[in-house]
Structure 1
Amino acid sequence: MPDAAPRLHALVEQLLGAPFPMRIRAWDGSQAGPPDAPTLVVRNRRAVRRLLFKPGELGMARAWVAGDLDVEGDLYPALDLLSGRIWDRGEDARTLAEALRDPSFRAAVRGLVRLAGPPLPPAPPREEVRRTTHLHTRRTDRRAVSHHYDVGNDFYEIVLGPSMVYSCAYWESADGTLEDAQRDKLELVCRKLALTPGRRLLDVGCGWGSMAIHAAREHGVSVVGITLSREQAAYARKRVADAGLADRVEIRVQDYRDVADGPYHAISSIGMAEHVGAERYLEYAGVLHALLEPGGRLLNHQIARRPQRDETAYEVDEFIDAYVFPDGELAPLGTTVTQLERAGFEVRDVESIREHYALTLRRWVARLEADWRRAVRSAGAGRARVWRLYMAASALAFERNRIGVNQVLAVRTTDSGTAGLPLRTRTWN
């Protein structure tokens, strides 16, 4: 009689020392767990071996990307249970060494080993990036950006839609369209930067050219957009040409550290600074400060994590680091503001738009799920599964206030201290 699911469910509860609030369907067709709960589909014994050889988030991610694990039905409730109530146990969590001193825990591990079959560690999925240090050299940054963005422009068209903007949109209401919300975000950035005809804008991490095109078309500025992704650059150049803006927009494959044609009147950095790294952030801020004219403005749009009591103990998210943003690092908002100020900027405005990113990510997930077969043909099943998991989990992280996103407006003040802003700063709202 098939019994893998009841055995697995009981062993997981024994490991956790708590009820497992999900239903399990195993490879032999058996099922166990609360009948109305989200269903975790364990397609083969290899999924169990992955969790044994790499317990925790990375093992789960490997099984998910390889297709050994799946969720039946709505992904969000399942992820909420897994991330918020099971693995994230805060100060109550035991270390592995502490757990192994518990006879019940050791017995559960032995039971899983028997259930998993031959103890051979499965190879990680090919989508996983393997490296040991966060160097943030020009070469490693280029490779990391290529891993994330050179997935195929057609894949990103499926996820992002016609706007081709891969950062948090700015919603008037939850019922609005993604295209309108992304247009409103670009316009908000332009207004914060006070762009007017004849001014010169540097767009750092220009992506597929949406900000550059919007700023040139709607505000009459000249734009230099830089990216490390050759696929993005080629796509952006075609969009610029098709929009008839080639005389006002230049797209370069260039590292921000190599830009040498300042000064610029304004700089936008939208969703790029997460790639810079803690060791390089002051350098990044200093480079941008030097590229601005006195009185020039920087709009730094960046995801932030919550600060910890012990910042020296902070660890990079294993799944994100291995599959999504290699070498990506999130910093608390206060750290970002401090580094900008250390570089010489005067920070004049900070706007949190955390809820907006949750709405944006849910729309991206919906687009991916609606055109799943084409996405798999375009990028492969493993890559599509990475993006679905990453975006859905990120939406929950923003909704639960585990991470945030902020627009920081900073100014390179003049020698006389003039910032060039109106007395009532938020005239852009």
Structure 2
Amino acid sequence: MKLISDQYLITYLQRFDQYPFEVKLHGKTHLIGEGNPVFTVSMKEEIDSSKLLSSTSLALGEAYMKGNLDIEGDLFQALDHFMGQMAAFTADQKKLKTLFFTSLSKKNQEREVASHYDIGNDFYSLWLDDTMSYSCGYFKTENDTLYEAQCNKVERILKKLCLKKDMTLLDIGCGWGYLLIRAAEEYGVKGVGITLSAEQKKEFERRIEVLGLSDRITVELMDYRDLPKSGRTFDRVVSVGMVEHVGRENYDLFIKSTESVLKPGGLFLLHFISALREYPGDPWMKKYIFPGGMVPSLREMIKLLSDHKFYVLDVESLRRHYYKTLRHWDQNFNENRDQIEKKMGTEFVRMWDLYLNACAATFHNGIIDLHQILISKGINNELPLTRWY
């Protein structure tokens, strides 16, 4: 392992000098930038220089997870500082190739999804709200609670879909099922949810039974690629936070699979984390949080939709709403930190806290966005004329 000298590390960190901060290393304090420092990076052990040059995020992220690097001050503020200077990060694309580009086989993608979403319903219930919604909320006011924001989000999606009684609705990547439950209760639709998470399916089925919605909703363990051979068609399709898991090479296949089960004139709402440009993602996030995850650009998704003669009716950015959602999640997470740490261990807790704050910082800095696209399969002249129906 090739360790780096104090001066090398300080010189390396000087590239992040937009705002002042301190670095404590081997009993000495170094100021980066000019002015009063807003946080302090405390280094307890040296960093392997080859790791730092291979990937800034992996080297520093792993050091934080293991407790070799700590932040004195607000973790979000520190990450917001670094994420605002992403152009200064190093990432060796050749060395990281196997991490960036994993197998797109059904078996591997099922395994990747399970590694994140099957951690345990009891774990997620500690810091998500009562709807168990693990996606961007919608804050009508600054004072909305997380629960209110998630209810707002679901209601906004359902209104955009212009639902009517006894319509059929498919939810691709249905999570714990709150959206379909509200659609059945409020609009009287007949819903089908598909997921690759056994834990989510188990909880969703419990909810369906408790609420007496077995005649209205079903949930299945199914890969989206199996939709064309299902023989089903739907009036409406929704997918919230799922396309990020299919891989860039499969975006077209995902849209084609959706097209195969949507009736002519039907509506499709796609809710997804997006980016300005196409890039492979963050190495630390792909290694520890979302293996195989890939964020589409808005432009490539709209182009692919157009290739399949989907008509884009509405595009809405919810970037700042996701920033607020993540801040709520992290607050809830830390309020239950001791309980989570007893079960999952210190390194997991530091990793997850880093994940939630890093995501909040990336949304805050506009590195990634969140878009909802409303699309019709072919022309639909039956919808209301105004956007705010």
TM-score of the superposition, structure 1-length normalised? 0.81
Q: CA 1:204–1:379 in 2, change beyond 3 Å: closer, same or farther?
A: farther
Compute the displacement of 1:419 (Å). 4.2
Q: CA 1:13–1:204 in 2, change beyond 3 Å: closer, same or farther?
A: same
Compute the displacement of 1:95 (Å). 8.9
Are 1:146 and 2:114 an aligned pair?
Answer: yes
2:351 aligned residue: 386
Contact 2:121/2:200 (CA < 8 Å) preserved in 1?
yes
Contact 2:54/2:91 (CA < 8 Å) preserved in 1?
no
Rounded to whole Å, the distance in 2 between the matches of 1:348 and 1:299 is 10
Are 1:303 and 2:273 an aligned pair?
Answer: yes
Out of 289, 300, 322, the residue aligned to residue 324 of structure 1 is 289
1:282 aligned residue: 252
Out of 405, 411, 415, the residue aligned to residue 370 of structure 2 is 405
Rounded to whole Å, the distance in 2 between the matches of 1:25 and 1:186 is 46
Q: Which 5+ residue runs of structure 2 have no aligned equivalent?
A: none
Contact 1:50/1:60 (CA < 8 Å) preserved in 2?
no
Amino acid at match of 2:367: R
Amino acid at match of 1:284: F
Are 1:23 and 2:22 an aligned pair?
Answer: yes
Contact 2:247/2:294 (CA < 8 Å) preserved in 1?
yes
Are 1:269 and 2:239 an aligned pair?
Answer: yes
Q: CA 1:213–1:287 in 2, change beyond 3 Å: closer, same or farther?
A: same
Compute the displacement of 1:72 (Å). 2.5
Contact 1:411/1:419 (CA < 8 Å) preserved in 2?
no
Q: Secondary structure at the match of 1:293?
A: strand
Contact 2:56/2:91 (CA < 8 Å) preserved in 1?
no
Rounded to whole Å, the distance in 2 between the matches of 1:239 and 1:180 is 20
The higher relative CO (CA closer than 8 Å, separation ≥ 6) is in 2
Rounded to whole Å, the distance in 1 between the matches of 2:50 and 2:68 is 9
Amino acid at match of 2:44: R
Compute the displacement of 1:159 (Å). 2.1
2:60 aligned residue: 60
Compute the displacement of 1:154 (Å). 1.4
Q: Secondary structure at the match of 1:33?
A: strand
Q: CA 1:180–1:51 in 2, change beyond 3 Å: closer, same or farther?
A: same
Tell me whether 294-303 or 34-43 shows the greater mean CA deviation.
34-43
Rounded to whole Å, the distance in 1 between the matches of 2:15 and 2:188 is 61
Amino acid at match of 1:163: T
Q: CA 1:132–1:319 in 2, change beyond 3 Å: closer, same or farther?
A: closer
Contact 1:257/1:287 (CA < 8 Å) preserved in 2?
yes
2:39 aligned residue: 38
Matches within 5 A, 1:139-288: 139-259=107-227, 260-288=230-258
Q: What fraction of aligned residue pairs are identical, expressed as a percent? A: 34
Q: Secondary structure at the match of 2:127?
A: helix
Are 1:334 and 2:299 an aligned pair?
Answer: yes
Rounded to whole Å, the distance in 2 between the matches of 1:19 and 1:89 is 7
Please report the RMSD computed on the Cα atoms of aligned residues, expressed in angstroms.
Answer: 2.5
Task: Indicate the structure (1 or 2) with the bigger Cα radius of gyration.
Answer: 1
Q: Secondary structure at the match of 1:175?
A: coil
Q: Secondary structure at the match of 1:245?
A: coil
Rounded to whole Å, the distance in 2 between the matches of 1:328 and 1:241 is 32
Contact 2:272/2:370 (CA < 8 Å) preserved in 1?
yes
Contact 1:155/1:379 (CA < 8 Å) preserved in 2?
no
2:388 aligned residue: 427
Rounded to whole Å, the distance in 1 between the matches of 2:297 and 2:381 is 26
Q: Which 5+ residue runs of structure 1 have no aligned equivalent?
A: 1-6, 97-129
Amino acid at match of 1:232: Q
Amino acid at match of 1:370: E
Amino acid at match of 1:89: A
Rounded to whole Å, the distance in 1 between the matches of 2:194 and 2:57 is 34
Rounded to whole Å, the distance in 1 between the matches of 2:72 and 2:22 is 10
Q: CA 1:392–1:344 in 2, change beyond 3 Å: closer, same or farther?
A: same
Are 1:75 and 2:75 an aligned pair?
Answer: yes
Contact 1:23/1:31 (CA < 8 Å) preserved in 2?
no
Aligned residues: 373
Contact 2:83/2:362 (CA < 8 Å) preserved in 1?
no
Contact 2:362/2:368 (CA < 8 Å) preserved in 1?
yes
